[in-house]
Amino acid sequence: MSTTPRKHAGPAAAPYAAVRDLVLANRILATEGILDAFGHVSARHPVNPARYLISRSLAPALVQGEDILVLDLDSNPDGETTAALYLERYIHGEIYRRRPDVQAIVHSHSPTTIPFGVTRVKLRPICHMSGFLGSATPIFDIRDSIKHSDMLVRTPALGVALAESLGEHSLALMRGHGNVVVAADIKAAVYRAIYCEVNARLQLQALQLDPKPRYLSDSEAAQSDTTNMKVAGRPWRYWAERAGCADLLDS
């Protein structure tokens, strides 16, 4: 992997490991079907918390080190660049601004979560791998901010509205669009984005068998999440292998 920024990327001064892990996160999330041609993952700059790293506008499966840009919390790039930027980058900047605990963010259109954003059935943790969901997943409805939109979080004001909807949660569903997942490091963010989709799938299956499945209690959800976050490095390595990117793993 090349980690040399392209000329159009501006002074994307970021430690090698942060760029490498972000490239790997892109590849993993694409391989696991969480990101397709759309959606994005970012990481807070490890040295300057008022900056974050994200790819230029590109399908995640194609992202390389040279595509990684450094943006400020207004979601403007550091330095001059001719690179196209993600339209919805304000999701990232406004959440980083409001949540100093957040170090990585995934915005995806992961398909099985969509029904839970448009119906009265709440997305709830149904297996021990998804305790991070908690029992009160917020739903961001863009129509509360703009009556007629193209559904994209394409302005700073919409980024603020989404960040406020997320509050202190790990996940917010976005009505008719997808979701945003946050975590204290990039491995945990990838883990949560993947298991959010897995949980939605399992919950839909359970609801076909019984309209009132037995979900994890708040206590079970919190305790299992604490346990799982300690071992988020294990699935990271496994997913890196599946993505054909073992060469991007640290030793």
Residues noted as catalytic: 88
- How distant is the alpha carbon of residue 19 from its chain centre? 16
CB contact at 8 A, 35 and 108:
yes
DSSP H or E segment with residue 71: strand 68-72
Q: Transcribe 14-69 into DSSP letters.
A: --HHHHHHHHHHHHHHHHTTS-SSS-EEEEE-SS-TTEEEEE-SS-GGG--GGGEE
3-state secondary structure of 84: coil
Beta strand pairing status for 104-108 and 178-183?
Answer: antiparallel
Q: Which residues pair with 158 in a beta bridge?
A: none
